[in-house]
Amino acid sequence: MMIPTIPTPDELLDKGFRRGKKAADLVRTSKVPKRLKSKRIEETRVTTACQVIKDRLKMILDRVPNIETLPEFYQDYIDITVGVDDMKKALGALNWAYGIITQLEKDYAGRIRRAAPERANDLRSQAYGRIASVVNKIKKDLDFLDFAKANLRNMPTINFEATTIVIAGFPNVGKSTLLRQITDATPEVASYPFTTKGIQIGHLERNWRKIQIIDTPGLLDRPILDMNEIELNAMVALEHLADAIFFIIDVSETCGFPIENQYKLSEEVKRIFDVPMVYLFNKMDISQTNKDNHESKKVIRNDMEEVDISYLNKYLDKIDDYLLISAYKGHGVDEIIAKLEKVKKIERIEDEELSDTDDDYY
């Protein structure tokens, strides 16, 4: 995210006062009638310091985008990462400081101009005290913005025009491995859960159509209220970005979670997010061998060994759109890409646009 470097109160004040002094030195060497000079010097110190501090505050305020005008995905992302209310409060405080310093500048410049020359230095010192007090009052807000800058540095850049597929599933099922297989993205892959902590994006172009594939952190089958910040990243991507969900189920259960729980989560996700869902039964290369001897359903494909998958029947019978794959070996990649090509972009109307149309009634 586009937050500029945030100074500490001391840095801000030092810079303002230092530049004030420099500007005053120029006045000192200039041709000003003697009785005016000390007044001119102190006035310059005040106005220059105020200008420099105000410029810096304004630069920050201008560069941080107005959160409400951002797409909802970013608003939610900022909210779960640093908190939108805290962000608004911090920006509000900077705005407040800007206003007060503008006041002080006008006030003290006028007072110095009207004062007796021997009072000028005192008034300037008083002004500097008040400026310092205002800037110190926004210390925690500057600290917060610095924290927000660090935390929003990895905010993903979303292409809102592209068709977007979100890969979801339990932790450790092979989501990132799949993203690596089908796009040029290189997310971290590891044999432990919650490897992916943020949102990873890979791109693909098919028939001149831009397709964006989003790899998300693993989800557990638990209520949204119990979710941590990492899991919530996955939820905001699903909510705002998914034109289709590719849900991965690890059939080997080497991810550490039973298929039954993974399937339950998929049903929950489907219920909450009303978008087409494709099931990818992953890790077929290490598929469990059949435990019970029911009628067996076999996968016979040129690039995959023949395996007995009757233990999956009770799920496959309930699903119409699925593929049996091995993300690790690259089995099923062509079929996955064929599915990607069929995904239709959902035209989303954001709340803001809705309220705009409401206004038309008046």
Ligand X SMILES: Nc1nc2c(ncn2[C@@H]2O[C@H](COP(=O)(O)OP(=O)(O)OP(=O)(O)O)[C@@H](O)[C@H]2O)c(=O)[nH]1
Separation of alpha carbons 323 and 190, rounded Å: 23
Pick the closer one to ligand X by CB: 164 or 177. 177
- Is 181 an interacting residue with respect to ligand X (CB under 6 A)? no
Pick the closer one to ligand X by CB: 41 or 324. 324
Partner from ligand X, Mg ion, none contacting 174, C-beta within 5 to 8 A by type: ligand X
Quick note: the x/- pattern for Mg ion over 182-201, rule CB under 5 A, is -------------xx-----
| b/e code 175-198 from CB counts within 10 Å (16+ = b) | bbbbbbbbbebebebeeebebbeb
- Order across the sheet with 209-215: list the strands: 200-206, 209-215, 163-169, 244-250, 277-282, 322-324
Instruction: For the CB of residue 167, give the shortest distance to Mg ion in the complex, in Å.
Output: 9
169, β-bridge pairs? 248
Separation of alpha carbons 84 and 81, rounded Å: 9
Judged by CB under 5 A, the number of residues near Mg ion is: 4
The amino acid present at 281, given as its one-letter code, is F
Separation of alpha carbons 313 and 118, rounded Å: 94
> Of these, 172, 212, 262, 287, which contacts ligand X (CB under 6 A)?
172
Separation of alpha carbons 29 and 205, rounded Å: 66
Instruction: For the CB of residue 174, give the shortest distance to ligand X in the complex, in Å.
Output: 3
**Which residue, 205, 321, 184, 333, is CA-closest to 266?**
321
- Is 233 an interacting residue with respect to ligand X (CB under 6 A)? no
- Is 283 an interacting residue with respect to ligand X (CB under 6 A)? yes
Instruction: For the CB of residue 227, give the shortest distance to Mg ion in the complex, in Å.
Output: 16
Pick the closer one to ligand X by CB: 66 or 191. 191
C-alpha torsion sign, points 271, 273, 275, 280: negative
The torsion region of residue 103 among left (phi > 0), alpha (psi -120 to 50) and beta comes to alpha
Instruction: For the CB of residue 108, give the shortest distance to ligand X in the complex, in Å.
Output: 57
Q: Where are the alpha helices (DSSP H) in 115-253?
A: 120-137, 139-151, 175-182, 229-241
- Is 164 an interacting residue with respect to Mg ion (CB under 5 A)? no
Separation of alpha carbons 328 and 152, rounded Å: 31
- Is 149 an interacting residue with respect to ligand X (CB under 6 A)? no
Closest residue to Mg ion, based on beta-carbon distance: 196
Instruction: For the CB of residue 343, give the shortest distance to Mg ion in the complex, in Å.
Output: 21
> Of these, 69, 191, 355, 357, which contacts ligand X (CB under 6 A)?
191
- Is 151 an interacting residue with respect to Mg ion (CB under 5 A)? no
Partner from Mg ion, ligand X, none contacting 332, C-beta within 5 to 8 A by type: none
Pick the closer one to ligand X by CB: 226 or 360. 226
Instruction: Point out which residues bind ligand X (CB under 6 A).
Output: 171-177, 189-191, 193-196, 217-218, 282-283, 285-286, 326-328
